[in-house]
Amino acid sequence: MGAQGLVSDVITGINILSEGEYNIGDTVKIGTYTGTVLSFTLRNTRLKTTNGAVIYIPNRNITIVENLTHGSHSGWSMNINLNLSVDNDLTTVNHAINTVNAALKDKFKNQIKKGPQIIGIINQTGSSITYQIHFQVVANSQSQVKNAYLSAYIKEFNQQDIKFSSLPTKQENTTTS
């Protein structure tokens, strides 16, 4: 049985290498695992997931590969949700967001595929509104982009006396085709 698995790993490994399905550094989805390819051999593929775990996948278990780095994949969808007081002037909020977006545009031009796009109010509860900004980002850049933009939004909002109702939140790790 062990020899049969080894032969299956090697045959699949040869197919992966010859077809060029992915390369080291590509972000791929293999089965339920999504991560960056660290290495691949005739026997297995090694991925590093977004939470830092390293996964070893025997090649015989690889049936479908979704390469998120290449092709028509449009990026990872990421939203920044800002929970604001309803007492804020929305023109001032939009101006502050646009100021930050313009200031960071060049710095993140290689990480952001689309956006940032102001969605606006997506929810209202009592004296709180949730204001959303949407991005399409390159795989594995969500945290870097989110942290930079969220920090800049908070700083600009404090300078403009825009009040939060609670801490801002983020949503990420969904893909779009």
Domain check: are 41 and 96 in the same one?
Answer: no
How long, in residues, is the chain?
177
Regarding whether 54 and 104 lie in a shared domain, the answer is: no
Bridge partners, 118 (sequence order): 133
Indicate the number of domains in the chain.
2
Do 83 and 123 fall into the same domain?
A: yes
Return the pLDDT at 98: 97
Q: Which of 28, 49, 67 is the last residue of a domain?
A: 67
- Among 48-52, 131-135, 166-170, the range scoring the smallest mean pLDDT is 166-170
Rounded CA-CA distance 100/157 in Å is 10
Q: Which domain holds residue 19?
A: 2-67
Q: What residue type is 94 in one-letter code?
A: N
63 and 80: one domain? no
Task: Write down which residue in 27, 51, 67 finishes a domain.
Answer: 67
**Domain of residue 16, CATH code:** 2.30.30.60
Q: Which of 19-33, 68-82, 107-121, 131-145 has the lowest mean pLDDT?
A: 68-82
Tokens linked to 114: 């689309």
DSSP summary character for residue 69: S
Q: What are phi and psi of 39, to 5 degrees?
A: -165, 160
Q: Which residues contact 21 (CB under 8 A, 6 or more apart)?
A: 65, 67
Per residue in 15-25, pLDDT (tens digit) is: 666 666 788 88
Domain boundary among 22, 43, 67: 67
- Is the whole-model pTM more than 0.75? no
